[in-house]
Structure 1
């Protein structure tokens, strides 16, 4: 989408011709995400039986200490809509379709690290480009939480304890490139599936885990009057997209017609029907994880 890259919610002068599938930048008036869902406080009902819980038979392990967080210099960059700084670790489970059920919402400026007790590389603010920021938790380790990194592909950022709220995430979106299918899951069960159009050759929709970053009104009639979801992912090859789309994010949106559904015709975005997009906008909150795979081993069965 041809927006000013330094101000991702201001249109660039001139639009890419209709019919070219475009990527999405959030607008300055990006609508605030749905209200955060409180973290569940229900106790764990699982019963774990010990073979012989006597002092002589229980293995005595020293309690693991939480690695301290190194002070973050004031001059570190703040993560925003521009590409994330280098140095963050790869997501080792990026193709895993296990639902991510918790998210992190910063309540103040917090540092993002390359490992528990590692180097601080950047800061997260409570909002990113005007939208309340929620990132799915991909891993936990000794008191630290790893979240999916926005404005980057297949990368994690580690957060020290404190400075954020943990929120429940009930939904997940899985996109299968080979069969051009998007499936919406709730609590691990498939709810609905829609046919999609995806990235063309050289501008393929990026594989791996990302998440719904936020929503924006459609900037032109080609979007069929339906709001757009911007994702945390970006083009794998930024130089391959049209010049007016450099610095853009991958988007989930509809189009003015459905003629190209089931084909690879976009600049990397994920297109669905207007009715499908409206349903996702109504039901799926920002922070929800989205995984792009080639194809699931077992086709989803909808509820």
Structure 2
């Protein structure tokens, strides 16, 4: 029987044997080069957010200077009105999935609301209240409460006017007083950081501190040189460059401005 089998193998034509060898080689190469089955692939785990030691980070507030903060890339662009509120003290990053450089608390002059200027996946870039002017930071969206401000304030330094818009409709335009030549009102986009009501204030019962600061004064009146929108007792100042950087507005403008929500964008230009 074995001999018969041997004779049968010997009788196979040479071309057929060569063809079988080639097919076998191709099959082996294919097996070696094919991708592993899904079952043999290592399981891919979702990235885990790195825990940040908030105690080691400086706080962004109107009283602090954080030089590591990224600068506003488009300081003259009108934000869309999206504002966010940190649910708790959260880290600020220099880029999405980047390096934490500071933190921001849930409260400043009340609840902290910051205007969003850019989105990137599950991150938002916001304007900050700390120096230098135009400081920004990135925050994870899941750590924020989101809302929308229907309002926009524009201050035109050349014309010395303030415009208030609601839902892209102009509510009013007023002649205002702006910073003097030695203490100019800083340009760029900022926001309403808070509302301070104090009937004992001699010049304005309502003050709206903004997220920017004087470029020439490190402090003023015991504060850190924060720029604000506020009233004034003498209407003769309106239309003049006489303030220490703040924007002084008439009483009827102040009555409307006091109703706009914290986080509302404010755009200051040279027009």
TM range (shorter): 0.7 to 0.9
CA contact (8 A) 1:69 1:116 kept: no
Q: 1:86 is matched with which residue?
A: 67
- Mean alpha-carbon deviation: is it higher for 198-207 or for 153-162? 153-162
The match for 1:280 among 249, 257, 267 is 257
In structure 2, relative to structure 1, the CA distance for the partners of 1:176 and 1:248 (3 Å cut) is: same
The match for 2:265 among 289, 297, 301 is 289
Q: Number of matched residues?
A: 224
* 1:111-130 residue CA offsets vs partner (Å, 9 max, x unmatched): 1111111111111221114x
| In the alignment, structure 1 residue 236 sits paired with structure 2 residue 215 | yes
Distance in 2 of aligned mates of 1:67 and 1:113: 17
Q: CA deviation at 1:70?
A: 4.4
Q: Mind listing any 5+ residue stretches in structure 2 that lack a counterpart?
A: 1-45
Distance in 2 of aligned mates of 1:141 and 1:250: 30
The match for 1:253 among 208, 230, 249 is 230
Q: CA deviation at 1:151?
A: 2.3
TM-score (ref. length: structure 2):
0.77
Q: 1:11 is matched with which residue?
A: none
In structure 2, relative to structure 1, the CA distance for the partners of 1:69 and 1:205 (3 Å cut) is: farther
Q: 2:246 is matched with which residue?
A: 269
CA contact (8 A) 1:254 1:274 kept: yes
Structure number with higher relative contact order (C-alpha < 8 Å, ≥ 6 residues apart): 1
RMSD over equivalenced CA pairs, Å: 2.0
Distance in 1 of aligned mates of 2:162 and 2:153: 7
CA contact (8 A) 1:84 1:150 kept: no
In structure 2, relative to structure 1, the CA distance for the partners of 1:279 and 1:161 (3 Å cut) is: closer
Q: Which has the larger radius of gyration?
A: 2
Q: How does 1:57-136 map to 2 (within 5 A)?
A: 70-73=50-53, 74-96=55-77, 98-129=78-109, 131-136=110-115
* 1:240-290 residue CA offsets vs partner (Å, 9 max, x unmatched): x65x455131010001111110010000000110111011112x1111000
Distance in 1 of aligned mates of 2:222 and 2:173: 29
CA contact (8 A) 2:125 2:136 kept: yes
Q: Mind listing any 5+ residue stretches in structure 1 that lack a counterpart?
A: 1-65, 296-303
